[in-house]
Amino acid sequence: MIKGLAHVCFRVKDLSVSEDFYAHKLGLKRAFDFRKPSGEIFGIYFYAGARNFIELFAGGPPTPAGPSSFQHFCLEVDAFHDFVGTLRERGVEVTGTKLGDDGAWQGWITDPDGNRIELHCYTPESRQLPFLPR
């Protein structure tokens, strides 16, 4: 039985630039690092709330052999407009902020490697609410 999405994983061009984005701009907590026997960090695990994580590995994104079906991943946020304001103060470009057809607030950002990230905030009218734990 599937309990949920555990993590998403990306290969990144520059681990320190991505660390700055996910930790300092988005405000995610660094959970732990992956280290080589020499002690060099080659991966970082970030806590994204509940039972969710984002995993980053150094090495740059591989060139896909064919078209990718990846479109974006989505982070649930609270106090949507406040969070968007904070991101903008930190130099993150947030686009497309609107109340979506599903009744939730949404906006879009891009990480340093060009991965699209949706910001998502449920409202009392959100169509997802019947499926969420109370």
- Nearest-angstrom CA–CA distance, 22 and 131: 28
Residue 67 pLDDT exceeds 80: no
73-120, pLDDT tens digit by residue? 999 999 999 999 999 999 999 999 999 999 999 999 999 999 999 999
Domain containing residue 25: CATH number: 3.10.180.10
* Mean pLDDT, the chain, whole residue set: 92
Output the six-digit token pair for 133. 């734990």
Residue 133 pLDDT exceeds 90: no
Could you tell me if 55 and 83 lie in one domain? no
Element (H, E) at 32: strand 29-35
Residue 25 pLDDT exceeds 80: yes
Backbone angles phi, psi at 27, to 5 degrees: 85, 20
- Nearest-angstrom CA–CA distance, 134 and 114: 35
Q: Which domain holds residue 100?
A: 71-134
Query: What is the maximum alpha-carbon separation in the chain?
Result: 52
pLDDT at 71: 85
* Number of domains comprising the chain: 2
pLDDT at 127: 94
Residue 44 lies in a domain: yes
Could you tell me if 75 and 124 lie in one domain? yes
Residue 66 lies in a domain: no
pTM of the predicted protein model: 0.86
Integer distance in angstroms from the first to the last C-alpha of the chain?
20
Could you tell me if 109 and 90 lie in one domain? yes
